[in-house]
């Protein structure tokens, strides 16, 4: 059983992400999914990012990293898009990380929004669609390839399609076959870390 800290995307802690957390729990994993938006849900990515803009991305990152403060070491960090910010930071900087699962986004190991090199002994999976205009078009895929090239235990999974939040079953962007394969790979990852 893995202990998991799961961070939501820019539309909030949607019913689809709650269902994903429940699916991991049903497989025997302990999942904490903090609501960094205080219950707010947004109809679009742009609306969610506009809300984050009023708070500040640094403040949102701080909210996410503080969510781990009272938790023990030895966590697997999961981030969905915007949630990759705190998930990746914690995986790279908090001692005792058991792994990271990064969905729809990835941060580079150098440059702005970087947290240093990928830590030795921390496995990572990165999942995105091969024609997602955000994941591919904004450079996240290059960051993912950089991590895969440098980390000891890293995998990049690309799914056919152009949807960003393809794993959130409560949104129109949901892709059931891709999400099922992602979930299978996540469960296999959690079983081995």
CA neighbor of 154 nearest in space, from 191, 182, 119: 119
Output 184-187 pairs: Cβ under 8 A, ≥24 positions apart. 185/125, 185/127, 185/157, 186/24, 186/78, 186/101, 186/125, 187/24, 187/27
State what percent of residues in the chain have pLDDT above 90: 96
CA 71 to mean position of chain CA atoms? 18
Q: What is the mean pLDDT of the chain?
A: 96
**E strand or H helix at 125:** strand 124-129
pLDDT of 112 > 80? The answer is no
Confidence grade of residue 110 (pLDDT, cut at 50, 70, 90): confident
pLDDT of 111 > 80? The answer is no
Q: What sign does the CA torsion over 113, 118, 123, 129 have?
A: positive
**Given the DSSP bridges, would you call strands 154-159 and 75-80 parallel, antiparallel or unpaired?**
unpaired
CA atoms of 61 and 30, how far apart (whole Å): 23
Q: Is the domain covering 3-192 a CATH 3.40.50.1820 domain?
A: yes
pLDDT at 7: 98
| Average pLDDT of the residues in 48-70 | 95
């Amino acid at each position: 059983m893995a202990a998991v800290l799961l961070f939501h995307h820019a539309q909030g802690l949607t019913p689809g992400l709650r269902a994903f957390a429940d699916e991991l729990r049903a497989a025997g994993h302990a999942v904490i999914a903090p609501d960094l938006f205080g219950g707010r849900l947004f109809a679009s990515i742009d609306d969610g990012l506009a809300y984050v803009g009023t708070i500040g991305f640094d403040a949102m990152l701080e909210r996410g990293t503080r969510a781990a403060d009272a938790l023990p070491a030895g966590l697997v960090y999961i981030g969905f898009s915007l949630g990759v910010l705190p998930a990746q930071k914690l995986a790279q900087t908090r001692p005792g990380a058991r792994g990271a699962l990064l969905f729809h986004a990835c941060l580079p190991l150098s440059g702005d929004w970087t947290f240093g090199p990928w830590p030795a002994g921390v496995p990572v999976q990165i999942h995105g669609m091969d024609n997602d205009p955000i994941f591919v078009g904004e450079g996240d895929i290059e960051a993912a390839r950089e991590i895969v090239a440098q980390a000891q235990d890293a995998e990049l999974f690309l799914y056919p399609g152009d949807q960003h939040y393809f794993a959130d079953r409560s949104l129109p962007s949901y892709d059931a076959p891709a999400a099922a394969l992602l979930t299978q790979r996540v469960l296999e990852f959690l079983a081995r870390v």
